[in-house]
Structure 1
Amino acid sequence: MLVVILVTCLLVLLSVGVHYNALILYSLTLQKRRVNLRRWVAASILGLLLAHVIEVSLFAIGYLLLVRFGDYGQLIGSTDELTQDYWYYSFVAYTSLGFGDIVPTHSLRLMTALETLTGLILIAWSASFLIMQMERFWDPEEDGISRRLR
């Protein structure tokens, strides 16, 4: 159990680091030069999706290593040869969609719960970042929105 807790803490810290650096990158890009806000929002959403995929992948690797190289639990319903099952399971846990076709056992249940909590926090952080940047930099007059609404 201690190994799973340590691995999970490491994965949470790595995920937060990936996310923090992605947000800093997008924030600096917007502040340094005059960019088209629509393009910036589109690029930021794609970039944040990439950050989330990296974070999910970190947890998927964690599950894979703990299942294959230790007696820390299993993902029941997965075919052990397919690493895509670990990735799929990690996506389901991270996004808190719920699961049923693949179910964790033993200590992996704790890792799953903490991945879900981490995913919720990081997804909310992404949304609040985009909203905050839109409020700060979006000018409806400049974008032509107010002219179209009249």
Structure 2
Amino acid sequence: MIQAMLLSVLVVSICTAIHYLVLKRVSDTIAQRKSAAHGQNLGLAVGAITIAHVIEAFIYTLFFLWAVQGLQIGALNGSVPAGKPTTMMDYFYFSLVNFTTLGRGDLTPVGHLRFITGIEAFHGFLMITASGSFVLQVMAGRAPLSDKG
């Protein structure tokens, strides 16, 4: 269980740092482009945030693989046909579904992987909520995290 907790702290730290850096960079870019239309700024924000979320879910995928195949502290069971191994794409799909808190249930974590899964859903919810708040501020014509303008 300690390994799952430490992995969770590490992956949350990495993904939060990535998320902040993306939002900060977008905010600074918006502040520098004062003459850009709100639609362009909104497009930049939504595009960058979408890419950031996908990257963050992929990082969780790598941590799930590490937990299962490297540390052997859990497994991912589910809709994979009998005798066929769970692929990286299965893990990535599971991570995306979990990060967005959709939780389809066709793949099920077992063992201590359940703890990391719960942390990912909670963290994904926080990151998506922060992104929503950021987008609303961009729609209002602000550069929320910028100190450049």
TM over 0.5: yes
1:44 matches 2:45: yes
Runs of 5+ in structure 2 lacking a partner?
143-149
How many Å separate the matches in 2 of 1:83 and 1:102? 13
Counterpart in the other structure of 1:14: 14
How many Å separate the matches in 2 of 1:113 and 1:33? 39
Between 1:93-102 and 1:114-123, the stretch displaced more is 93-102
Higher strand share: 2
What amino acid maps onto 1:91 in structure 2? L
What amino acid maps onto 1:44 in structure 2? A
Taking structure 1 as the reference length, what is the TM-score of the superposition?
0.86
Taking structure 2 as the reference length, what is the TM-score of the superposition?
0.87
Residue 43 of structure 1 and its aligned partner are, at CA, apart by 1.7
Residue 100 of structure 1 and its aligned partner are, at CA, apart by 1.7
Query: Over alpha carbons, which structure has the higher Rg?
Result: 1
The percentage of aligned residue pairs carrying the same residue is 30
Counterpart in the other structure of 2:71: 70
Counterpart in the other structure of 1:58: 59
Between 1:23-32 and 1:35-44, the stretch displaced more is 35-44
Counterpart in the other structure of 2:97: 92
Query: Which structure carries more relative contact order (alpha carbon 8 Å, separation 6+)?
Result: 2
Higher helix share: 1
SS in 1 for 2:117: helix
| 1:120-135 to 2 correspondences below 5 Å | 120-135=125-140
